[in-house]
Amino acid sequence: MEHATGPTRWILLTFSIIIVWQVIRAQRGHRPFIRRIPGLTAIDEAVGRAVEMGRPILSSVGLGGIDIVTLQALAIVTNVAAVAARFGSRLLLPVRNAALVPVAEDAIRNAYNAAGRPDAFHEEDILFLSGEQFAYAAGIAGIIQRERVAATFLFGTFFAESLIIAENANQVGAIQVAGTPSTTQIPFFIVSCDYVIIGDEFYGATAYLTRQPTLMGSLAGQDLVKGLLLALILVGAVLLTANVPVVRNLFSDRDLASLAAYFLPTPEGR
Amino acid sequence: MGLFVPQSGPLLWLFIVGALLFGGLCLFLLTLAPPRARKPLIAAVTFLAGLFFAAEFFWPVATSGDNIGKNFLTPYLKPVSDMTTVLQAFALGVGIYSLLNVHLRAIARRRQGWGFSVVLVGSILAIAVPALWKEYDRENTVARGLYTLAYDGGFNALNAAMFSIVAFYIVSAAYRAFRARSVEATILLCSALVVILGQIAVGQALTSWLPAEGFAANFRLEILRNWILTRVNAPAVLAIELGIGIGALATSLRLWLSLEQGSYFEEEV
């Protein structure tokens, strides 16, 4: 059972306050700059290609349950759905978690409504395949081969099935955009997909796509926190190298383990 | 805590009926609430649910005594987490409905590939029927045999087959990635070659003539492999994970405090 130790408590609280402060600041009119992310700029290109070819688009939000990663992946896919609805393309979203079906249906339906194309939304395009990892992968591979999808958008938590999905899409010549916080799967996506968004780009994607002040403020907060963490790491490294005991006294091994457990979670699955 | 202890006998049925009635009442009251009040209500429930987990994580824990490493909220962590499991169990019905809705329609309308839908529905029955039969008649050897045949003989074997396919896909993906078409791809090719050779005995034998100690030892393939993995690869992965951790914190905060706007094209509930 993980619990926050002294310094972890204050560090996380400070970081949270910084992020919320930046969100409020953005809501009050301050708009931070967001650099270009090629993988997300490619969404229009991929959807346009699907329309030209008259083939559907396939999305996946990975193997996760209803958690932060999957909800963020769904937010990205929802934005892809809005583009697909605008262009008049069909979007297929096979899911692995049954609880996600109504949530995904609602979000995608909203995206089609927002794009002014409620008629183009088909409930059966958001389908539950299987709760089992490889049955899900086999199901997606089958859909890719049968429908000859023109583009795939793979966002979320992935394990060994990432390569099965991406390589099958590669075989049918689909343009592929992927993004995952599962660091063990990033290399697989890099070698088999056209565009990959990595690291915190995954969490910055919705801000980039929607330009909503709340999301842009959150992104600015993330960058501030990252800068602060880098400064802490640098100062800590210098002080430790100079053998200044204050760092060792401030953070016990348990504190460092607690911080590491929060920021560097151990991946599960195979 | 008595409420969260597993029940049996008539009390179990009382709890089930009570939970269903309570759930139904909550849903009914939610439909009665004016539309403008629904969003704040959902935000309040989300905040309270998130507050429990946050408070449990941040509240100081006992450092001695019987409850070492626990705080006053820790005993409730499992029951509250179990609620999520119960919700997931209900959602499985939604999933099966979604699956059957697509495939039974395909069979009824004789859509292209409807034969696969027949196989799928048949497979569901082939696993579900013996599994339920076995569960309610534990002594029945026929039920157990059918289940073992379908699950261990069929499903597990197919699962292993799908996993093994990954090996072939790794080769085809690596072939494309390792073609030295750019400077980056060439660096990838060279470092991958060193890691692969440093990992296997044949590769290690290539530089085994180098001394095991001293400056020249740094050029032994297994040392180079170790250097790439721990000094080049690991920091990059840790940096990515750090960014992901901060991103997850920001997204969690937005969802918990109901600050998320525009991501899901929300409509007024």
Determine the Cα–Cα distance for residues B250 and A203; give it in Å rounded to an integer. Answer: 8
Chain mean pLDDT for chain A: 88
Q: Which of A244, A250, A230, A246 is nearest to A6 (CA)?
A: A250
B46-74 in b/e form (b: 16+ CB < 10 A) is: eeeebeeebebbeeebeeeeeeeebbebb
Please tell me which of A111-125, B61-75, B249-263 the model is most confident about, judged by mean pLDDT: A111-125
Cα distances from A188 to residues A161, A181, B171, B177, in angstroms, run 10, 13, 11, 10
Strand spans (E) along A31-186: 57-62, 91-95, 126-128, 151-157, 175-179
Q: Which two tokens stand for residue A264?
A: 């560097």
Chain B residues within an 8 Å CB radius of A192: 173, 176
Who's near B155: CB < 8 A, 6+ residues apart? Answer: A132, A135, B127
pLDDT at A18 over 50: yes
The residue ranking higher by pLDDT, A176 or A8, is A176
pLDDT of residue B32: 86
How large is the ipTM? 0.85
Instruction: Give A13→chain B minimum CA distance, Å.
Output: 10
Q: Among B195, B155, B162, B188, which Cα is nearest to B174's?
A: B188
Does residue A265 carry a pLDDT above 60?
Answer: no
Name chain B contacts of A131, Cβ cutoff 8 Å: 92, 95
**A176 or A252, which is more confident:** A176
* Contact A138/B at CB under 8 A: yes
pTM (predicted TM-score): 0.85
**Rounded to whole angstroms, how far apart are CA atoms A100 and B252?**
18
φ, ψ dihedrals at B116, nearest 5°: -65, -35
Question: Measured between CB atoms, does A162 come within 8 Å of chain B?
Answer: no
pLDDT at B265: 64
Alpha carbon of B245: minimum distance to chain A alpha carbons (Å)? 5
Q: Do A75 and B165 touch (CB under 8 A)?
A: no
More confident residue, B6 or B245: B245
Look-up: residue for tokens 């963020």? A72
Minimal-distance CA residue of chain B relative to A67: B252
Q: pLDDT tens, B157-189?
A: 999 999 999 999 988 888 887 777 788 888 888
| Tens-place pLDDT, residues B100-147 | 888 899 999 998 889 989 999 999 999 999 999 998 888 889 999 999
pLDDT band with cut points at 50, 70 and 90 for residue A21: very high
Please judge whether A203 and B113 are an interchain contact, meaning their C-beta atoms are less than 8 angstroms apart.
no
Q: What is the pLDDT of residues A136-155, one digit of tens each?
A: 999 999 999 999 999 999 99
CB crowding B226-261: b at 16 or more within 10 Å, else e: eebeeeeeeeebeebbbbbbbbbbbbbbbbbebbbe
Interface test with A, best of B165, B232, B255, B269 (most A CBs within 10 A): B165
DSSP output for B54-82: HHHHHSPPBSSSTTBT--TTHHHHHHHHH
Burial environment of residue B26 by CB neighbours within 10 A (0 to 12, 13 to 18, 19 or more) = exposed
Mean pLDDT of A54-67: 93
Tell me whether A72 touches chain B (CB under 8 Å): yes
Q: What type of residue is A252?
A: S
Strand runs (DSSP E) across A105-194, as ranges? 126-128, 151-157, 175-179
State the pLDDT confidence band at B197, using cuts at 50, 70 and 90.
very high
